[in-house]
Structure 1
Amino acid sequence: MKKLALHWQILIGMALGVLWGMLASYLGLVEFTSDWVKPFGTIFINLLKLIAVPLVLVSLITGVSSLSDVSRLSRIGSKTIGIYLMTTVVAVVLGLVLVNVFEPGKAFSPEKREEFKEQFASTTVEKSSDAAAVEQQGPLQPLIDIVPSNIFGSLTTNSAMLQVIFFALLFGVALIMIPADKAQPVNDFFEGVNLVILQIVDLIMATAPYGVFALLAGLVVEFAGDDPGAAVELLLVLGYYCIVVIVGLALMIFVVYPLLVTTVGKTKYKSFFKGIFPAQMLAFSTSSSAATLPVTMECAEQNLGINKEITSFVLPLGATINMDGTSLYQAVAAVFIAQAYGIQLDIMAQLGIVMTATLASIGAAAVPGAGIVMLVIVLQQAGIPIEGIALILAPDRILDMLRTTVNVTGDATVSMMVARTEGQLHPPKETTAV
């Protein structure tokens, strides 16, 4: 018998977790669920935290070192990275605007939000203390904090992820600058380690159905207690949260990218959309930019007429560092969780989310589940309770499919923009007609 696809397993785990939680509330098994089921959800969270630092370090080093021919393509490289960072920042800011306007986390009743806040009161107090300490520091202290004094110390805590990213960028650039014959063994080493890390992510994601079941069961019994009807409130709020994320992703695909394609790419968006559609569908079904990459390159070259020199450079780099959909989702999810726990995020905290989500997206692996790992980083950097990730894991599979579609569309958009500015775009006649 053919094995059930992982996303179906996760969806079943979600449904069974919610069902178990509600039955536990009815049958008086709340304590049993908290003691014997929820811990497996905690283990799943710990596995995600375990892999976060090595995933970012190795993925980013291999991504930067892929620019080994940067001397010949320095102009294209700087242009590509600059546009990628720009679109990512736009995505994060758009997500923050939407989540602050619609405030899905505040859709929880005040009583539930107060319960969440009390449950993690120590985290809130610690965050307030940290904020007070920051106020006494100089204006350039955040810049100082990015540069580690001891990288091995930074590698021991997920909260120092910006320092890890800084070191990985510095290491990758230095790797490009040394002689190729000396750099090759190092490149081979990190590429091998990268494959190992991605395999570990696959192993962790294989446990996702059970982890999601335990997380959802624990969340429902904690939320509902002996009142199963309260679980309905949770499901309604999650639906509201999903709508906010989907609106943001839709704005990227139907507003932001069309604007860039038509103004810079000088191409009608209907033609672009028709040409890249096969890659979008594969991205939707696999939730992996890496798995979709061969199809994305084929669509870009054959359907959109982008020169292979551009696609072979821009698209693989984009699959590594350009995660617009993931970054938008992280911004919405982070603030949603903070709102759910009654944590007020000031403008500096949200600017920190912009920076962290943007830089973390550079190191995000182009595989299913990596977005959740990156969200762990964003939450920890912003001082938001990581346990709140349980709130958004339930609908994550569907959102993962949608945000990967946005990621791939963004890669193709930037590829077209770079090709047009380099005179390397020659769309076939049949794709230019609307």
Structure 2
Amino acid sequence: MTSFGPQIIAALIVGLLLGLVAKYTGSTAEEPNGLGEALSIIGSSYVALLRTAVIPLIFFAVVASIANLAKVTNAARLAWQTLLWFAITALVSVVIGMVLGTVFRPGANTGQDMPDDYTGKTGDWLGFLTGLVPANFLGLGASTKLADDATATTSISFNVLQILVIAIAVGIAALKVGKAAEPFLAFSTSILAIIQKVLWWIIRIAPIGTVGLIGNAVATYGWDTIGALGKFTVAIYVGLALVLFALYPVLVRAHGLSIKQYFSGVWPAVQLAFVSRSSIGTLPLTQRVTERNLGVPSGYASFAVPLGATTKMDGCAAIYPAIAAIFVAQFFGVELSLTDYFLIALVSVLGSAATAGTTGAIVMLTLTLSTLGLPLAGVGLLMAVDPIIDMGRTAVNVAGQALVPTIVAKREGILDIDMYNAPRNGNPFADESISAPDAEAAAAK
């Protein structure tokens, strides 16, 4: 079976060629021909598949992560330290993303018209705070639009922030209830596993969706879009490289640890993440390298790493939404204010729990654009190059998911330094003769 990476590259080439054929045979956004219509349907259908799972994915991922707190000794302090460092690294990463988006200006000078349904309003603090209050249990909304021919169309939308607030409240309540909530928590974990499996199937057909998305983008916008998306992709990878090879090494060294040992220890998981494009799919390996190579006690790692797989996304929830939001604003000629930039940072830090190990970037992009009031048409546009970007994003996500538990364990004095510094000798894991770290033993050192 051909590996996933070549499938995506082939899909991009096929989509590009089909899009050019459609465009030069007369297909337009207003009046697409048969090929243009087919590409549009394929692309939009794939996005619809992803959006279908967003609500249950966010809800059960957050509930399951909060439930893991009950399994950790000294949970309150370790959880607080973990979340604090999640936020610190996310904040630095989103600042890097905003700087790069401003410097690269990947969406500028495209001359594209504003979508018809765009109201022209950008986000504000009051709207952000109001959006936190759930309108109903599922955070759903409905709107009806009357066409020129008097045909009424009703569309259903969802508010990711409200779903996140509901999930956090339910998760904390389940912890407070105690034993009576155990069946619910077990059910939530089971449902989450099923949803993630379905999402993985959807991701496996990403090459088909890529053909439709990139083909439709070319047929609709032409070469200006391809050039802008190429510049956008470069900006994203520059940001990811700065986080992975500059920010993370600085944090490792600042805590008195070897940069070489960190990278050699985490690299097996980073490699798998790059190929699989799934933090959840890489989770078992991430947890293993965090314990066996980086010396984090298993009791703490079993909480922090799964939590990070759904909430620690410096690639998907910081670098990407920052540059993507600026790209969409530039692409459609919308000026962003200083308040908008503060909102981007705030959403990236607080909204990371809305992400998940499979489609977190799409959720975060939707959340960011919705908060700023930017055209959501940008989601479909950027989906065209998402598979290529997602490889680097997921690799950075996983590297951060192993880094934060390592830093916290070192700060709390429970990191097994001998395990961390053990020679790798070209092997993916430290010598099996070295005992895996145990929380109590490490704390006694």
Which one of the candidate residues 213, 227, 246 is aligned to 1:255? 246
What does residue 430 of structure 2 align with? none
Structural RMSD (CA):
2.6
Name the amino acid aligned to 1:201. L
Match of 1:91 among 87, 90, 93: 93
**CA contact under 8 A between 1:306 and 1:425: conserved in structure 2?**
yes
- Whether 2:132 is the aligned partner of 1:146: answer yes
After TM superposition, give the deviation of residue 427 of structure 1 in Å: 2.2
* 1:152-171 correspondence runs (5 A): 152-154=138-140, 158=157, 160-171=159-170
Q: How does 1:72-221 map to 2 (within 5 A)?
A: 72-106=74-108, 109=109, 112-113=110-111, 116-118=112-114, 120-123=115-118, 126-128=119-121, 142-154=128-140, 158=157, 160-180=159-179, 182-221=180-219
| Partner deviation per Cα, 1:217-275 (whole Å, 9 max, x = no partner) | 22112223xxxxxx2x43332222112111111111122111211113x1021221122
Once residues 38 and 266 of structure 2 are traced to their aligned partners in structure 1, the CA distance between those partners, rounded to angstroms, is 47
Deviations along 1:334-387, whole A, 9 cap, x unmatched?
2212211112222222322323333443132213x4422432333233222222
**Match 1:366 to one of 338, 357, 376:** 357
Greater fraction of residues in helix: 1
| Cα distance, 1:257–1:206 mapped onto 2, change above 3 Å | closer
Q: In the aligned structure 2, how far is the partner of 1:334 from the partner of 1:324?
A: 15
Whether contact under 8 Å (1:159, 1:380) holds in the other structure is no
Gaps of 5+ in 1: 225-230
**What letter matches 2:120 in structure 1?**
K
Q: Deviations over 1:6-57 (max 9, x none)?
A: 4433332221111011122334455313334313322222233322222211
Tell me by how many angstroms 1:155 deviates.
6.9
Aligned to 2:294: 304
CA distance in 2, matches of 1:192, 1:155: 28
Corresponding residue for residue 246 of structure 1: 237
Check conservation: 2:89, 2:314, Cα contact below 8 A. yes
Q: 1:117/1:395 Cα in 2 relative to 1: closer, same or farther (>3 Å)?
A: same
CA distance in 2, matches of 1:140, 1:337: 22
Would you say 1:17 and 2:15 are equivalent positions? yes
Q: 1:177 corresponds to which letter in structure 2?
A: K
Deviation of 1:170 after TM superposition, in Å, equals 1.1
Alignment of 1:327-406 (within 5 A): 327=317, 328-367=319-358, 369-406=359-396
Give percent identity, aligned residues only: 32
In 1: Cα distance, 2:275 partner to 2:284 partner: 15
Tell me how far 1:141 sits from its aligned partner.
5.9
**Offset at 1:422?**
1.4
* Correspondent of 2:269 among 279, 296, 311: 279
**1:314 corresponds to:** 304
What does residue 227 of structure 1 align with? Answer: none
Find the aligned partners of 1:338 and 1:140 in 2 and give their Cα distance: 21
Cα 1:219–1:311, aligned 2, differ >3 Å: closer, same or farther? Answer: same
Question: SS of the counterpart of 2:295?
Answer: coil
The question of whether the paired residues in 1 share the 8 Å contact of 2:15 and 2:212 is answered with yes
**Number of aligned residues:** 406
1:58 is aligned to 60
Task: Name whichever of 403-412 and 386-395 sits farther off.
Answer: 386-395
Q: 1:396-421 deviations in whole A, cap 9, x for unaligned?
A: 22321111111111122111111111
**One-letter amino acid of the counterpart of residue 282, structure 2:** T
Matched-pair contact (CA < 8 Å) for 1:154–1:161: no
What is the match of residue 228 of structure 1?
none
Which stretches of structure 1, 4 residues or more, deviate above 6 A after TM superposition?
A: none
Change (3 A) 1:415 1:390: same
- Flag structure 2 segments of 5+ consecutive residues without an equivalent: 143-155, 425-445
Please state whether the residue corresponding to 2:107 is helix, strand or coil.
helix
What TM-score, normalized by structure 1, do the two folds share? 0.85
- Look up the SS of the partner of 1:85 in the other structure: helix
* C-alpha distance in 1 between matches for 2:268 and 2:366: 31
Q: Which amino acid aligns with 2:53?
A: I
Which residue type is aligned with residue 189 of structure 1? F
- 2:316/2:393 contact within 8 Å kept: yes
In 1, Cα distance between the equivalents of 2:139 and 2:403? Answer: 39
With over 3 angstroms needed to count, the CA separation of the structure-2 counterparts of 1:207 and 1:379, relative to structure 1, is farther
Question: Distance in 2 between the 1:36 and 1:415 partners?
Answer: 47
Partner of 1:223: 221
Q: Relative to structure 2, which stretch is displaced further, 233-242 or 82-91?
A: 233-242
Offset of 1:99 from its aligned partner?
Answer: 0.3
